[in-house]
């Protein structure tokens, strides 16, 4: 194990998952000397177990700034993935054909239509196209839908990628950009020292001018050490992967998508079970039943893998990006859509951290929104 003592970096990013890696990559492109301190393979990491959507529709009901932030990231994705490919030679297989969310009853149609209308009626919300399609319109694009599909919502801004390749491209990119990746450096403590920060880790101490907490589930424990708050909780999601099959599905369809390698990923559960990644057969069969009602041909495919991973969720589901007021130079970044938002973390958030502060546009994402006194 490497002993790291008195290292000197402009920024230490705690966490080498999708959020920390994208930020570290962006910081390095802005000339910062960066270290990523990562716990290692034992960590609970949604970055390796997610569904890989770059998804816009439906995001931001309750926080219009989040709708704008999400759209901006999806818009940045084409350039971001091209930059990664040019630098690393890794194609993260990003495509933006638009996405459907199929609905199986008139009640579901009505609920979805209301949800999207309310989202787009919020004051100052970003405008973008979406459509509620009836069965005939959906069948024109996907003739193989099942008889139970009543319609779907559609948004041309939605897309998907290969998120394992994204993580690999980011790690290759940070290595090529001179970022020090320090595995087995679980941060136990963060202390403010001599105008900077001292991280006490499992493999020695690391010093830096700034620190970014992007440690997923452990953000909850680490953030208060620097006067910040990250009240995140785990939410389990199951994913099923089928055997590879000939390309049939050109769109990501809410919770069903065909990957660049030919397998079909199916994932659609939201379970409040703590830090538990056990796969439950009851949950996978419920997910599979709904998927087969949407695309009956899925019933003929063999399942080759199932897993469960834990989303990092804030109380309202929106991200937290914040700089500490008591210890300026310390930042927290945590969100539950780390694939979708990777482009913004690299291109729109990191430059501000490099410059030393977050502008007003980030105020909406402060954890202070959770600090309202309870009503009597
Ligand atoms: C089932 C499922 C489906 C999903 N689908 C999508 C999707 O389609 N689209 C989308 O945009 N998002 C999706 N997500 C969410 C996305 O995967 C996460 O937002 C993202 O992976 C979060 O990345 P992270 O870096 O914050 O966390 P993590 O992946 O948890 O990474 C945190 C890192 O911090 C390290 N760490 C933890 N504690 C410490 C410590 N004390 N010291 C040092 N290092 C530490 C860990 O080793 C880890 O590498 C999905 C998530 C799940 C679970």
Q: What is the tens place of the pLDDT at every residue in 287-321?
A: 999 999 999 999 999 999 999 999 999 999 999 99
Mean pLDDT of the chain, nearest integer = 94
Asked whether this chain's domains 8-50+164-231+316-366 and 233-313 adopt the same fold, the reply is no
Distance CA 319, CA 13 (A): 17
2: pLDDT strictly greater than 90:
no
144: pLDDT strictly greater than 50:
yes
Q: Residue 32 Cα, ligand 1 centroid: separation in angstroms?
A: 23
375: pLDDT strictly greater than 70:
no
Q: Please tell me whether the overall predicted TM-score, pTM, comes out greater than 0.85 for this model.
A: yes
Range among 2-11, 236-245, 278-287 rated most confident: 236-245
Domains of the chain, by residue range, sit at 8-50+164-231+316-366, 99-156, 233-313
pLDDT given for residue 47 in this prediction: 74
Q: Residue 337 Cα, ligand 1 centroid: separation in angstroms?
A: 9
Direct distance between the N- and C-terminal alpha carbons of the chain, in angstroms, rounded to an integer: 54
Distance CA 305, CA 244 (A): 12
Radius of gyration of the chain (CA): 21
Q: Residue 136 Cα, ligand 1 centroid: separation in angstroms?
A: 38
Q: Residue 215 Cα, ligand 1 centroid: separation in angstroms?
A: 8
CB 249 within 8 A of CB 142: yes
Share of the chain above pLDDT 90, in %: 87
pLDDT given for residue 374 in this prediction: 61
- Of ligand 1's listed atoms, the one at least distance from the Cα of 222 is 41
Mean pLDDT value across residues 343-351: 98
6: pLDDT strictly greater than 60:
no
| CATH 3.30.9.10, domain 233-313, yes or no | yes
Q: Residue 219 Cα, ligand 1 centroid: separation in angstroms?
A: 11
Mutation test residue for ligand 1: of 57, 183, 339, 345, the one with most atoms within 8 Å of CB: 339
| Residue 177, helix vs strand vs coil | coil
Distance CA 289, CA 293 (A): 6
pLDDT given for residue 253 in this prediction: 96
Verify whether ligand 1 is closer than 6 Å to residue 214 (CB atom).
yes
pLDDT given for residue 44 in this prediction: 63
Distance CA 180, CA 174 (A): 8
pLDDT given for residue 42 in this prediction: 64
pLDDT tens profile 220-247: 999 999 999 999 999 999 999 999 999 9
- Of ligand 1's listed atoms, the one at least distance from the Cα of 187 is 42
pLDDT given for residue 335 in this prediction: 96
| 85 secondary structure, DSSP code | H
Distance CA 287, CA 149 (A): 15
| 242 secondary structure, DSSP code | E
Q: Containing H/E element for 206?
A: strand 204-213
Mean pLDDT value across residues 82-103: 98
The stretches of the chain forming alpha helices (DSSP H) are 18-29, 64-88, 106-120, 135-141, 163-176, 219-222, 281-294, 342-344, 350-355
Level-2 CATH architecture, domain 8-50+164-231+316-366: 3-Layer(bba) Sandwich (3.50)
Verify whether ligand 1 is closer than 6 Å to residue 340 (CB atom).
yes
Indicate the pLDDT class of residue 55, thresholds 50, 70 and 90.
very high
């Amino acid at each position: 194990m490497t002993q790291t003592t008195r290292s000197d970096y402009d920024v230490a990013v705690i966490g080498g998952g999708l959020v920390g890696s994208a930020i570290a990559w962006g910081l390095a492109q802005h000339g910062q000397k960066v270290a990523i301190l990562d716990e290692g393979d034992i960590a609970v990491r949604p970055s390796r177990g997610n569904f890989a959507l770059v998804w816009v529709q439906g995001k931001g009901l309750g926080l219009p700034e989040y709708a704008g932030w999400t759209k901006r990231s999806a818009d940045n994705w084409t350039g971001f993935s091209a930059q990664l490919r040019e630098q690393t030679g890794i194609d993260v297989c990003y495509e933006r054909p638009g996405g459907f969310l199929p609905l199986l009853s008139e009640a579901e149609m009505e609920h979805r239509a209301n949800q999207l209308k309310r989202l787009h009626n919020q004051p100052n919300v970003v405008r973008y196209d979406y459509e509620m399609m009836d069965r005939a319109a959906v069948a024109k694009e996907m003739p193989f839908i099942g008889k139970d599909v009543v319609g779907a919502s559609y948004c041309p801004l939605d897309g998907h990628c290969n998120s394992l390749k994204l993580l690999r491209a980011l790690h290759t990119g940070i290595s090529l950009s001179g970022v020090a990746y320090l595995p087995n450096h679980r941060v136990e403590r963060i202390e403010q020292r001599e105008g900077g920060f001292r991280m006490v880790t499992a493999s020695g101490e690391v010093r830096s001018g700034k620190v970014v907490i992007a440690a997923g589930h452990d953000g909850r424990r680490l953030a208060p050490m620097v006067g910040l708050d990250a009240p995140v909780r785990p939410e389990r999601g199951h994913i099923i992967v089928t055997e590879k099959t000939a390309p049939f599905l050109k769109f990501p369809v809410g919770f069903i998508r065909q990957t660049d390698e030919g397998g079909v990923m199916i994932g659609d559960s939201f379970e409040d079970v703590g830090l538990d990644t056990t796969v439950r057969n009851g949950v996978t069969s419920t997910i599979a039943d709904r998927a087969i009602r949407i695309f009956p041909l899925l019933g003929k495919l063999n399942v080759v893998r199932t897993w469960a991973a834990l989303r990092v969720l804030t109380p309202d589901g929106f991200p937290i990006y914040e700089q500490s007021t008591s210890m300026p130079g310390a930042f927290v970044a945590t969100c539950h859509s780390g694939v979708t938002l990777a482009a913004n973390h690299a291109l729109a958030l990191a430059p501000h951290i490099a410059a030393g502060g977050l502008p007003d546009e980030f105020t909406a994402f402060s954890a202070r929104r959770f600090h309202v006194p309870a009503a009597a």
